[in-house]
Structure 1
Amino acid sequence: ANVNAVKRQILINYGPYSQELESRYHSMKVVACAFEAELDFAHSVTELPQVAARRYQYWASHNLQLIRTQEGTLGELQATLVAKKEKLQLKAQREDRQAQNFQN
Structure 2
Amino acid sequence: MNKQAAHKKKIMDEIVANDFAALNGSIIRIMGNVLGPGWQKGSDLMMAFRDKEESELYFSLDYLQQCDAIAVRDAETKEPVEIYDFELEEIQIRLTADGIKLLMVRKKDELIEI
Query: Normalised by the size of structure 2, how large is the TM-score?
Result: 0.20
Higher RCO by CA contacts (8 Å cutoff, separation 6 or greater): 2
Higher helix share: 2
Query: Normalised by the size of structure 1, how large is the TM-score?
Result: 0.22
Higher strand share: 1
Q: Rg bigger for which structure?
A: 1
